[in-house]
Structure 1
């Protein structure tokens, strides 16, 4: 069953290294499907499937110009993803701060930190 909520679609799209490479290329500017396919050892049809996944997740936009199709990065779903990740940032920051304090106690030889 395919993911239907936007965040799951974004995570699914980002799960593949080829799709992440396509997004990295598009972060530099608009590119044709052929340009996006060039660095990958796969057919244009295979790259087109990756592009469709990214498009379904709302991460890229496409436009046609004569016989060529051009893609652009759409960053707004990445902002939504960042918002989701920020909710966990405090958790990780707090845990890393506690770990740092524990390591400092060990380095000082604080007997209360030994088990």
Structure 2
């Protein structure tokens, strides 16, 4: 167990994911994701652009029916979804820091 713990810490993964490596995308086995990182597989875009967020992702990020998300994009990095309240909080923090820097 001690060696498994050291290996997990070295690779930045959980012991469980190290021992029970059953992560797959389609039929391809992949290495465990680092702690705090997730790969839930693939989704298909519907005819109106809709996607279904995997259940495990919804549970991890406490996403519920009716929650609003901000869709962000970066040409090099891709698309990100952020809860509206988290996005608004970050914008307010950035504005506050901006004002502090202007007043200095």
TM range (shorter): under 0.3
TM-score by length of 1: 0.25
Larger of the two Rg values belongs to structure: 1
Q: Which has the higher contact order (CA 8 A, sep 6+)?
A: 1
TM-score by length of 2: 0.27
